[in-house]
Amino acid sequence: MAYRWKNTLSEEDVTPYSTFLNRRQLMAGLAAGGIAASVPLASRAQDALEPNTWEEITNYCNYYEFGTGKDDPARNAGALTIDPWTVRIDGLVDRPGDYSFADIMSQMTIEERIYRFRCVEAWSMVVPWNGFELADLLNWVGVQSSARYVAFETVLRPEEMPGVASRVLEWPYVEGLRLDEAMHPLTMMATGIYGRDIPKQNGAPLRLVVPWKYGFKSIKSVVRITLTEDEPPASWNIANPREYGFYSNVNPQVDHPRWSQATERRLGGGLFAKRQPTLMFNGYEAEVASLYDGMDLREFF
């Protein structure tokens, strides 16, 4: 597997791995000088993007198939079988088929990127992901000219996922992106965190990461990717379209009907940590705003 490192941030912008995880030794495979990253310079506007700890990232998350509590996924996701793993890629592609995770990884270029992560619930963290650009995968299978959207589907195994009994959503979990969003270089398929394999509660072995959108768009444990001409369904949009739009871009000027999106609580600062202003497109405005030129983002939220 090839590795490509992007260094738009200097090493001084990145918190060393050893600062976290109780000062344990640096993981194998990272460069001796620190972690390389590809976070846009626009993301430095508010802080130095110090990553959250492994414990915070892996023990405070949403994965409703394993329960609706923030610690339910870490407690229950161990039952998920992730080896072997197959992703069906179909629809408007040149080479549809069932691709093993190993085959996909053998063809992709793995990078480490430190991204902001903003939940629609108005909390945030900073995550050092490992993975590859979604565009590389789509180009590998060949996108046909009539394709306009990309649909995603999460694995559904009721025997391994106690949360699906609650019917809080329609299962399986589905999501979608417009093709230009999917092909954007910031959009990635994550396979790891902090250089380790991504934990099951965070979406092992393969999850989407779209850093300028609310976290529920970054669908976990992907088993199907379909290229379509029509806008695909999205689970939270199906459940409550008044509260969750298809685009779901981070926008401090468009509130959730039940709370403000103008500020956020950065995870790791304690329960009473001072809230900080939310940045347009989660700090990636310079990179992605052009995708939405001419769109009313209050209507297309």
Detail the residues annotated as belonging to a binding site for Mo-molybdopterin: 64-65, 119, 154, 202, 207, 218-220
Beta carbons of 250 and 282 less than 8 angstroms apart: yes
Task: Please say whether the beta carbons of 1 and 106 come within 8 A.
Answer: yes
| Whole-angstrom distance, CA of residue 22 vs CA of residue 5 | 26
Q: How far is CA 126 from CA 57, 94, 102, 212, 223, in A?
A: 8, 36, 28, 13, 26
Q: Which two tokens stand for residue 46?
A: 């508010």
Annotated binding-site residues read 64-65, 119, 154, 202, 207, 218-220
Angle at 13 between CA 43 and CA 283, to 5 degrees: 5
CA distances (Å), origin 298, targets 213, 255, 280: 15, 9, 13
Two tokens at 204?
A: 């092992």
Terminal Cα distance for the chain, rounded:
38
Using an 8 Å Cβ cutoff, are 64 and 73 in contact?
A: no
